[in-house]
Structures are given as C-alpha cells and as structure tokens.
A and B are shown apart, each in its own frame.
Chain A
C-alpha cells in the first residue's frame, strides 16, 4: 500500500498542471495560481491521511483552491469598498463570484501554462525551473536535487521567475501567428535542456537526474498531444526517445562511457526506439520531409543509428546528408565536425580530413579537444601515425576529463 503522502504526491503529479493552469486562467496570474494550488496541496496533506483520499481528488483540490481565491477576492473587495465608503449597495448588487468564470477547456489552459513558463522574458534557468515546477509537478526540493543546488536557492529562483512574469505582464495565452514559431522554439529548447541535463549525467549520480530524461520525454509527449500539428514537437519527442533508448548501453561496468559505435545494441530500449521512430514518421508526415527543422533532422540522425542492428550497417551517406542540411539550417562548427566524421565513414578518411582542414581556424573550436581527436583518428586511418600521435597528445592536453585523457593518451601510445 502506498502511504497517504505518496498518494498525495502521485495525485499532485497527475493533477497539478491542470489545476494551476485552470487557476491561472481564472486569476490571470500564474504566480498566484501556483500559490493557491500549493494551499490546496497543503490542505490535502493535512486532511487526506485521516479522511481518506476523496473519490475525485482533482476536483477536491480545485474546489479548495478556488475557495481560497474567492475568499481572497472577497477580502480584497471588502477592503476596497470600505476605503471607498460605498460598500453596502455594491455588496448587495453583485457578488465577486459572478465575475469568476471556470470553463472546461483545460487542455488549452495547460498549453498556455507551458508557453507562459517558457516565456523568453525569463532566463533559461528560470524557464527550466518553472516548467518543472508548474507543468511537471515536481517539488522545489526535487528540482534542486536534480540541478545540484540547495533547496533555498531553487526556491528563490522560482520566486524570482514568478515575479519576472508578473513584472513583464506576460499574458496567459498561446501566441499566434509569427510569434508562435519563436515562442514554440523557446518551449522546445527548455524541454531539450531538461533532457540533456539528465542525459549528460553519468551513472552513479543521483537517480533524479536520470529521471529528468523521463520527465522531459513526458513533457514532450504532452506537447505532442496538445499541439499535434507541429512537426518540430514530434521531432523533439523522436530525438529524445531515440537518444534515451541508448541509456542502458552508454556506461560500462566501471561507469566508463561507451561510445555509440561500441555500444551493445542489445541493451537499447526497443520500446523507446519504436515510439521514437513512430514520432519521427509523424513529423515527416506533417512536414513532408526529414529536413524540415532542426529537431526533425536530429531525430532523423538518431534514427539512422537506431535502425542499424549493428554499427557496421549504419547508413553513413544518409547521416552525412542530414548533417549537411542541419549545418545549412543552423550553421555550427560542431555540426560540421560531425559531418566530417560521417563523411569519413561514408567516403573514407581523406574526404573527412578535407572538411576538418576547413575548421582549423574556427575560433569556436579553438581549444576543443574533439577537433584534434577527430583529426588524430582520421590521420591514423590514413596510416600517418606520427601526425596522428601528435593530434591525440594535443587532444589529451586539452580535455578536462581524466577518463577521456587516459583514453586519448592510450591512442597516442598505440601510434608510436
């Protein structure tokens, strides 16, 4: 049996986004909505252990939160009326409750909540924290643990974010027209940041960081269900699920990272791959191509690996093409470096080296160990062992990761 507090936490996770979203629509203030919802949560934690969990816990929480709001409005109205000295007639004439409208379009409200929490008026950190808190239903303490900061620090971040939203007078709505694309990009960025925060964590770190990947995938699937016509949303879901399918294979017995091509593909999670490939198919169906946007392209890249039963079956020609398109859409020397690797796998190391040569003076890659490491690898494959050794040693000197340095020095030693 789950303890009453576990049950309350579970109900909160299921209901909180809709609860807060509905209240935000009523009050027009996301910060106030969250405070009211928290009041209802506290009431549930006090009452449910003795009274039992109500039959419809979502409705119970909503009723309690709305009552708090109405009480607050009444007090406010009463205060203002006393100040103005016109209280009696008005109080008879209209009840503040007449002004409060609750409607059934909860899903639209949740989508509004997501767009508000990811508003560009907020810093990235604030958007991430607010999204996990308001949409994900995570506690401040859980978010703090996931991001390796103290609970008071995270609480302050959430409070500042809510204040920033109020100060910027961000309306509670889903943007339309030209604004939608930019705002959607901000939402997708936040979800992918959450995913990567979990994905970048190596094994042995707090479990909650791995949970961030699951949370991000859940948020992505929510978005896909709420905004089913957006190819990039499905692309992001496909990208996250296909990448997450590899988590069980990414670390070896001693916690060392195993690179994609060396992973035991039997450990990949087939269900996530199936789901991810279906999401990619939906994105392509909507947009007409695998080249339609950065997330769809990255999902298509991940899918090339997911579809190959063994590393040798990888379609490197397709991957080279996809990196080429991605580089045109979002130019980046890192994407170009990845393209060089793919081209070297498709057309041989000399072709890859030609692309890498064009990146030598790229300021963004100065001091980037992977540039030297890739160059070393390509030179080694061309039989230029002496030059390869120098590149591996240069790469080893640039990396901050001890495990990686050992690996690079071993490769250098193998070249002499």
Chain B
C-alpha cells in the first residue's frame, strides 16, 4: 500500500527562512537517507512559501476565482509531503515516529486505489475516471 505523509508549514518555512534551521535540514537529510535505504520512499518534496501559491475558489455555479498567496492560516498549510510504499499503516506510523520533527502534527493518509471505488460508483463514472487518468498521463 502507498501512504502520503503530509507535513505542515511553519512560520519560518512560510518566510522562506531556512538559514536558522541548518541542523533540522541535516537531520532530515539523514532521515531521508534511512527511508531510501529501506526502499520505501517513492517521492518526497518540500513546498515553497504560500506567497508563491494560488488558490482557486469554486462557486456553487462551478465558476472560479483566483486568490493569490500568501495564505494566513499557517498551521493549516501543507509544507511538504512524502509518498511511501509500506506493508501496513502500522509500519508507516513506526517510520514516522523516527522522523526528526518537533512541536508539529504530521498526517498519514492511505492513497486510494481504483479498487476502493469499485462497487460504490457506477461503472460509467469509473470508466470516466480511468479516461481522465489516461489523459493526464499524456
């Protein structure tokens, strides 16, 4: 199974202040190396401050409005993510416990597979979903 690890932004990451966090970067580098050596890391990226981000707000009629960053609620912002391949959620939890975080909450979510929807959604919807995935692959 694959899981996504969602890491929150911090005030310093929002300011783009990385200079004061050299030790944390080093610790995170070592941790990433552990993940690589265990063969579980499929992807892992950090996000730039939300000042570079955009939000699209969709109205009830489906129309949309673009909102420029930065976004105020730092604690709710995603600052980075990993995608891991693990054998169970318990294994993901044990891996995450070993991460060098302090004073934050990190979220683990299982990535859905098409099988999660089969039987719940009409076949046309599933086929459309597949076509969309096919399009995005091109």
Contacts and interface: CB of A to CB of B under 8 A. Distances in A.
Contacts of B89: 2
Given A14-B95, A309-B137, A222 B38 contact: yes
B32 to A, nearest CB: 10
Given A11-B94, A248-B113, A6 B88 contact: yes
B94 A220 contact: no
Q: How large is the interface on B (under 10, 10 to 19, 20 to 34, 35 or more residues)?
A: 20 to 34
Contacts of B136: 270
A125 interface: no
Contacts of A296: none
A226 B37 contact: yes
Contact of A13 (B2, B43, B87): B87
B37 A222 contact: yes
A10 B85 contact: no
A194 to B, nearest CB: 13
Interface stretch (A160-168, A211-219, A356-364): A211-219
Interface string B97-138: 010000000000000011000000000000000111111111
Contact of B39 (A10, A107, A218, A268): A218
A102 B101 CA distance: 29
Q: By CB atoms of chain A within 10 A, which of B89, B113, B133, B138 has the most?
A: B133
Interface stretch (A116-124, A259-267, A385-393): A259-267
Contacts of B131: 266
Interface in A255-290: 264-268, 270-272, 275
A225 interface: yes
B90 A218 contact: no
Interface in A225-251: 225-226, 248
A14 B42 contact: no
A394 interface: no
B39 A266 contact: no
A47 B90 CA distance: 18
Nearest to B115: A248
Interface string B71-96: 00000000000010101111101110
A189 interface: no
Contacts of A219: 39
B6 interface: no
A270 B88 contact: no
Given A265-B137, A309-B137, A271 B93 contact: no
Interface in A55-69: 57
A137 to B, nearest CB: 9
B36 interface: yes
A10 B137 contact: no
B111 to A, nearest CB: 9
Contacts of B47: none
A7 interface: yes
Given A264-B134, A268-B137, A211 B87 contact: yes
Nearest to A214: B85
B39 A267 contact: no
A14 B99 CA distance: 13
Contacts of B138: 309
A265 B133 CA distance: 9
A266 B36 contact: no
Q: By CB atoms of chain B within 10 A, which of A218, A221, A264 has the most?
A: A221
A2 B37 contact: no
B114 A271 contact: no
Given A7-B90, A248-B114, A265 B39 contact: no
Given A7-B90, A13-B87, A271 B133 contact: no
A265 B93 CA distance: 33
A9 B90 contact: yes
Contact of A270 (B85, B93, B130, B137): B137
B37 A275 contact: no
Contact of A225 (B2, B36, B94): B36
Q: By CB atoms of chain A within 10 A, which of B37, B83, B132, B138 has the most?
A: B37
A266 B85 contact: no
Given A225-B37, A264-B134, A267-B130, A14 B94 contact: yes
A393 to B, nearest CB: 35
Contacts of A221: 36, 39-41
Contact of A107 (B37, B41, B113): B37
Cβ-closest 6 pairs across A and B: A266-B134, A221-B39, A218-B39, A10-B90, A2-B90, A222-B39
Interface of B: 2, 33, 36-43, 83, 85, 87-91, 93-95, 98, 113-114, 130-138
18 contacts: A2-B93, A7-B90, A14-B98, A214-B85, A217-B39, A218-B39, A218-B40, A222-B39, A225-B39, A264-B130, A266-B130, A266-B131, A266-B137, A267-B114, A270-B133, A271-B2, A272-B42, A309-B137
Given A14-B94, A270-B133, 10 more contacts: A6-B88, A7-B93, A10-B90, A211-B87, A214-B87, A221-B40, A248-B114, A271-B42, A271-B83, A309-B137
